[in-house]
Amino acid sequence: MSEYVTVTHEGGIAIIMIDNPPVNAMSFHLRQPLYKAIEAARDDASVEGVVLACAGRTFVSGADISEFGSEKALASPSLPELCSLLESLPKPVVAAIHGTTLGGGLELAMSCHYRVADKGAKVGLPEVKLGLLPGAGGTIRLPRLTGPETAVKMIVSGTPIGAAQALAAGVVDAVVESDLTAEAVKFAKGKATEGGPHIPVSARDDKLVAARNDLAAFDAAAKEATKKSRGLDAPLACAQSVRNAITLPFDEALAKERELFIKLVSGDQSRAQRHLFFAEREAAKVPGIGKDVQPRNIAKVGVIGAGTMGGGIAMAFVNGGLPVTILEMSDEALDRGFATIEKNYGISVSRGSLTEEAKAKRMASFSRTTDYADLSDCDLIIEAVFEEMSVKKDVFAKIEAVAKPGAILATNTSYLDVDAIAANTSRPQDVIGLHFFSPANVMKLLEIVRGKETAADVVLTALQLGRKIAKVPVVVGVCHGFVGNRMLGARGEDLEALLLEGASPEQIDRVFTDFGFVMGPFAMWDLAGLDIGWRNRKSLGKTAVIGDAVCEMGRFGQKTGKGMYLYENGSRTPKPDPEIAALIEDKTKELGIARREISDQEIIERTIYPMVNEGARILEEKIAARPSDIDIVWINGYGFPVGKGGPMFWADLEGLSKIVAQLDHWHAKTGKAVFDPAPLLRSLAETGGSFAAMKA
Ligand code: T1G
């Protein structure tokens, strides 16, 4: 045997136990001994049945993602070879499923004759999130267990299902309350006694018959499932491969699945999405916070402000299982805040994503007050008040007067200097920024803004709390706009110049949506409200030729039916407005600028390249620990297309030398600092370096 596979026997049943911490990934070093153990069980006449189980917290959670791109991934015995070996056994093979049985793990389990699941188990095929499709028969076997419509939805969404749902759908044959392995052995013994035949999943076609007669229902389900795949190859490949399971014999469909998998795994989109998988986990590893640092206990949270941000933040904590006290200046403000919270949960109930019971439980987790003293038992107090330093400092003084020793004092500021806020208290080591993104109960990104005095255990607590409330936390340093908003500023710096020189709002927005963003900057401004930027500029004594003129016309965006676009009859669909085109032309004339044709590539170079440049500056200043942290910020907070892996990953693919050359060109042409290549970016370009090769 090997350290990764042990075999024991119980009454004629061979129990093959896998042990490859932390998640029993199907690594090459595991596949070899596992293949041998299955062969041995097959050839041992005293073995009447086999149970395949895993030690640790989960059954196999998939192929080893870190092997992709290396020869190990496809080295024999491959996962498909293991699956066909399992299916070939003439004796019953039972998979004992617990934890998160995902991807190749579920494919392995579906290659067993039967599956017995622990009641807390989850099963799924999340390969699509890695820019892949299940590459070891998942798209061909799952439809044989659940029917093709259910299978295509599960595979294209990549969303796992629980044990009860898996039993109802036909993925597993039994769900057990306790002692999974013993129950699986009993199940195997029963099947062995019955004498079979033990029909492999690949030979079960009964659930494909209806679709073979009429593909309409399947095609409709596939169309629905793939409608949001915008520019990504994997979702369409998943649907095609499930369709092949219907229309082709098993072996042919399996071969085509392998072809599709090989194509996807070597493509940039999957490389980008696999990069993001590990990047998200790297982001939780903060340099300088060693294993000796212990997190503080957070059992109760206080939120100051029941507006859009405060209410959303409060919901995020309650959704993560923490009781929350919301403080506002008046009962009327609290009433408004709780009415919005109630409405938001009501929408989730109407959509079926929350039960009435769960809604009631969550609503019961809130308490409300107008008295700061009621926050004295909170372990974390976060303010989400008006974005004005004097207001924040005043609120912090009130918080500090009541907060218990050791409580964490957090600000939700999106731009302001966290060090200045901390310095205004007597306990700067307890102060941290928790920058949520609106709507805070939905958006995944949480920028954890570490002040120069913030204690290490406070940072660690914030990281773990972020993951507990299902956010994607990234630790960032203090500067104007931290990471995300600072780069957003760089991306928008030259937009007006592009309009004045010849581009239109709709052309620029199309370039962004073609790039993979959900919407372009002007549609985004109209959604958020042009008046916010207008007020911000005025507070900073800044002007914007077109933005100010549009606001002076009372055009604030969707909320006024007009902004950079028209929104007719309450529609949210932006329509180009000749009035805006005329305004831009007039401003161009006033400034004596000759309008010209502007290429899409020029728009990319004058918006996305400065973003990358600002990211390089952020790395030089150590505001972000690593380039992949910047990618995680932009994917989870600003809708950067996952198929491009984030701005820094994409920059490596675009070519750093090309980026620096064009930044130099636009810097020479416009004189704008946003185009002046950061020294780090220039040195990487000149030495053939890459952001990917940089470590924290
Ligand atoms: N391969 C390699 N490493 C993995 C891994 C995997 N499949 N899953 C997790 N890890 C590492 C992870 O990087 C982290 O490392 C540690 O394990 C704990 O993970 C052929 C092609 C299982 C739900 O997509 O969803 O099968 O940071 O922090 O929060 O068709 O990990 O400690 O060094 O996430 O408890 C399909 C991916 C693969 C599942 C556990 N499977 N994993 O979550 O722990 S492709 C997946 C997860 C495939 C076949 C195809 C989660 C988890 P480190 P963690 P967790």
Class of domain 503-591: mainly alpha
What's the DSSP call for residue 430?
G
Sequence-distant (6+) residues with CB within 8 A of 298 are 322, 379, 380, 408, 461, 465
| Phi then psi dihedrals of residue 545, to 5 deg | -50, -55
Instruction: Please measure the distance between the N-terminal and C-terminal CA atoms of the chain and give it in whole angstroms.
Output: 39
Residue 107 falls in the annotated catalytic set: yes
- Joined together, the tokens standing for residue 679 give 């020294």
Question: What ligand 1 atom has the least distance to the C-alpha of 62?
Answer: 26
127 is catalytic: yes
Name residue, tokens 């908003």: 485
CA of 348 to the centre of ligand 1 (A): 29
Per-residue 3-state assignment (H helix, E strand, C coil) for 336-353: HHHHHHHHHHHHHHHHCC
Q: How far apart are CA 430 and CA 531, in angstroms?
A: 35
CATH fold of 301-479 reads Rossmann fold (3.40.50)
Distance 23 CA to ligand 1 centre (A): 7
Residue nearest to atom 46 of ligand 1 (CA): 62
Q: Which atom of ligand 1 lies closest to the CA of 64?
A: 1
pLDDT of residue 533: 85
In 169-289, which ranges are E strands?
174-176
Name every protein residue with a CB atom under 6 angstroms from any ligand 1 atom: 22-23, 25, 61-66, 79, 100, 102-104, 107, 126-127, 130, 132, 134-136, 138, 278, 281
Residue 653: its pLDDT value, please? 96
The per-residue pLDDT for 570 is 83
Give 448's DSSP letter: E
Measured CA to CA, the distance from residue 657 to residue 694 in angstroms comes to 17
Residue 172's pLDDT is what?
Answer: 98
Q: In this structure, are residues 582 and 535 in contact, taking their beta carbons and an 8 Å threshold?
A: no
The domains of the chain are located at 5-195+203-269, 301-479, 503-591
Distance, CA of 149 to CA of 147 (rounded, Å): 6
- For residue 541, is it left (φ>0), alpha (ψ between -120 and 50) or beta? left
Q: What spacing in Å lies between the alpha carbon of 618 and ligand 1's midpoint?
A: 29
pLDDT of 365: 97
CATH classification of 5-195+203-269 is 3.40.50.720, yes or no?
A: no
Positions in the chain short of pLDDT 50: none
Residue 288, pLDDT score: 82
User: Considering 48, 87, 107, 614, which one is annotated as catalytic?
Assistant: 107
ipTM: 0.98
H runs (alpha helix) in 283-322: 308-319
Please report the atom of ligand 1 found closest to the CA of residue 125. 36
Residue type, 33: P
Q: What is the 3-state secondary structure (H, E, C) of 138-189?
A: HHHHHHHHHCHHHHHHHHHHCCCEEHHHHHHHCCCCEEECCCHHHHHHHHHH
Please give the pLDDT value at position 528: 86
Q: What is the pLDDT of residue 1?
A: 63
Q: Do the first three CATH levels of 5-195+203-269 and 503-591 match, i.e. the same topology?
A: no
From the candidates 127, 183, 506, 654, give the one annotated as an active-site residue. Answer: 127
Task: Give helix 250-265 / helix 234-247 axis angle, nearest 10°.
Answer: 170
Tell me the pairing of strands 122-124 and 100-102. Answer: parallel
